[in-house]
């Protein structure tokens, strides 16, 4: 009988431990979910589109305490993203470019987002209008999909709001300004500002509603005392 009680106690302890681990995994699940991005991509006044995917590399919850009370709470995250971008400059070119970015993001308990990103890329431009080629014999031919290839570096920063922090909505709205540099561009470096206005969708994020930052404490957490 005593062995039976001991066995039941051990099973109960294991069950409680598994339940706690499951709760922790739900709270931490945002760190394992990828993000899908869709944005309006505007180069100055020229319209375009951007789609991408983000994978989390690291995140930590930070709470700032004063007199044993939480006065500030936010999440710091690091992501790697891949993006396919395009914009149309009438009578000049269409620019289709790929970027791989390192993203640093901070999300406050209120849902406010601030972020910074940097990374390399590859650009292919397609000239507007019809492009002709004249050979040494004077023959004229049309060049299809005429354009140029460039290496590219992008750097940017932005702000947004994460709707999953206060509501069970698995997406964020973000406004971001990027500066892209393409080279070699006529033996120089070509700079162009690009504005992004879009949303990020996180599959499975709706379970991560947080009504109290104390409920969000887990092993990926740091406390700062004032």
**Tens of pLDDT, residue by residue, the chain (226 residues):** 444 344 445 434 433 443 343 333 334 444 568 999 999 999 989 999 999 999 999 889 887 777 666 667 789 999 999 999 999 999 889 999 999 999 999 999 889 999 999 999 999 999 988 888 888 888 888 888 899 999 999 999 999 999 988 888 999 999 999 999 999 888 788 899 999 999 999 987 654 444 454 444 444 555 554 4
> Exposed (0-12), middle (13-18) or buried (19+): which is 223, by Cβ within 10 Å?
exposed
> What residues pair up with 180 in beta bridges, in sequence order?
154, 192
Give the C-alpha separation, 131 to 192, whole Å.
24
Residue pair 100/117 in contact by the 8 Å Cβ criterion: no
On whether residue 6 sits in a domain, the answer given is: no
Backbone angles phi, psi at 113, to 5 degrees: -115, 140
Q: Are 191 and 220 in contact (CB under 8 A)?
A: no
Say if 144 falls within a structural domain: yes
Q: What is the number of domains present in the chain?
A: 1
Domain of residue 210 covers 32-225
User: In this structure, is residue 5 part of a structural domain?
Assistant: no
- Whether residue 13 lies inside any domain: the answer is no
Rounded to whole angstroms, what are the CA distances from 55 to 27, 160, 177, 205? Answer: 18, 18, 21, 14
Q: What is the DSSP letter of 16?
A: H
CB 218 within 8 A of CB 27: yes
Residue 134 lies in a domain: yes
Q: What is the pLDDT of residue 71?
A: 64
> Rounded CA gap, 195 and 188, in Å?
23
Look at residue 15 and tell me if it is in a domain.
no
Both tokens of 113, joined, read 């987002």
Per DSSP, 91 falls in state: T
Rg (Cα) of the chain, in Å, rounded?
Answer: 25
Question: pLDDT digits over 80-124, tens only?
Answer: 999 999 999 998 899 999 999 999 999 998 899 999 999 999 999
What three-state secondary structure class fits 19? helix
Residue 53 maps to a domain = yes
Q: Characterize 74-98 residue by residue with b for buried, 16 or more Cβ atoms within 10 angstroms of its Cβ, and e for exposed.
A: bbebebebbbebbbebeeebbbbbe
End-to-end alpha-carbon separation of the chain, Å?
Answer: 54
Residue 56 sits in a domain of what CATH number? Answer: 2.40.160.20
Q: What's the predicted TM-score (pTM) here?
A: 0.74
Report yes or no on 21 lying in a domain.
Answer: no
Say how far apart CA 104 and CA 76 lie, in whole Å.
8
Which residues are registered as beta bridge partners of 46?
A: 43
């Amino acid at each position: 009988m005593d062995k039976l009680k001991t066995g039941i106690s051990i099973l109960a302890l294991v069950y409680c431990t598994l339940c706690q681990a499951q709760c922790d995994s739900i709270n931490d699940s945002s760190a394992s979910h990828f993000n899908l991005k869709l944005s309006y991509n505007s180069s100055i006044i020229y319209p375009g589109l951007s789609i991408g995917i983000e994978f989390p590399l690291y995140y930590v919850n930070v709470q700032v305490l004063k007199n044993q009370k939480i006065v500030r709470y936010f999440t710091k995250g690091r992501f790697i993203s891949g993006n396919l971008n395009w914009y149309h400059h009438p009578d000049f070119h269409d620019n289709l470019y790929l970027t791989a970015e390192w993203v640093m993001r901070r999300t406050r308990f209120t849902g406010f987002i601030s972020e910074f990103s940097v990374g390399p890329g590859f650009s292919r431009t397609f000239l507007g209008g019809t492009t002709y080629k004249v050979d040494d014999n004077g023959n004229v031919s049309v060049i299809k999909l005429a354009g140029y290839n460039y290496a590219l570096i992008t750097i940017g920063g932005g702000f947004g709001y994460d709707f999953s922090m206060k509501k069970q909505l698995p997406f964020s709205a973000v406004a971001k300004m990027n500066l892209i540099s393409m080279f070699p561009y006529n033996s120089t470096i070509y700079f162009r500002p690009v504005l992004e206005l879009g949303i990020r969708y996180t599959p499975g994020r709706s379970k991560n509603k947080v009504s109290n930052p104390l409920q969000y404490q887990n092993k990926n957490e740091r406390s700062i005392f004032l």
